[in-house]
Homo-oligomer: A and B are copies of this chain.
């Protein structure tokens, strides 16, 4: 038996925050299989292409940007019957982006748009293939990693206020976060964020702007359960 008979795909769970809620990028498939169904953006890895490079390429094709977007591998899905076209093993990636423009429909897609994560989680919007499981794993990864890492800053522009960062936590976790405790903890963690010295001005009192610091871990972590 020739072992060189698999196709490898990169599928993307691209998350962003719009209107204070977590959204995921989905494409409406234009061709069979599963034409007209909503699915995660993705595609085959090319013969001489790194699997991570394939993920960046797909990301750029759908969103128009790739630089400055956080991308990390989630896991690989390889049930023999997961794709009707043949033996396709899919490497899933989690991408986190600041609020972007409207996405592009790639070559095989009828359309592409941001959907609220809650719509997919409620089951109101079914996804093609095994994409619901991939989606759920990726969202759980993002929620868990906010607790102990600088991942939330991947949803923000390079300079952001503490209130913006707090809004990320509230959107991703779907729970309110106390402004005072949050401010104390974030600014008190050495090297986690550093002030730029400038101020934002929009509405009320101007806020300090911060950028990501050199320390990517938050020790001790935040907790989302309020145990």
Residues of chain A touching chain B, judged by Cβ–Cβ distance below 8 Å, are 1, 3-8, 44-52, 73, 75-76, 78-80, 86-87, 89, 91, 219-220, 223, 225, 227
Contact = CB atoms under 8 A, between A and B. Distances in A.
Contacts of A5: 4-5, 7, 47
Contacts of A7: 3-6
18 contacts: A1-B46, A3-B44, A3-B46, A4-B7, A4-B86, A6-B8, A6-B45, A8-B8, A8-B78, A45-B89, A48-B80, A48-B87, A49-B80, A50-B80, A51-B79, A51-B89, A73-B75, A89-B91
A177 to B, nearest CB: 18
A6 B87 CA distance: 10
Contacts of A44: 3
A6 B78 CA distance: 13
Contacts of A6: 4, 6-8, 45, 89
A45 B223 CA distance: 39
The 4 residue pairs across chains A and B that have the minimum distance between CB atoms: A51-B78, A3-B44, A3-B7, A76-B76
A132 to B, nearest CB: 18
Given A1-B46, A73-B76, A219-B225, 20 more contacts: A3-B44, A3-B47, A4-B5, A4-B87, A5-B47, A6-B7, A6-B8, A6-B89, A8-B8, A8-B78, A48-B80, A49-B80, A50-B78, A50-B80, A51-B79, A75-B75, A75-B76, A76-B91, A220-B223, A220-B227
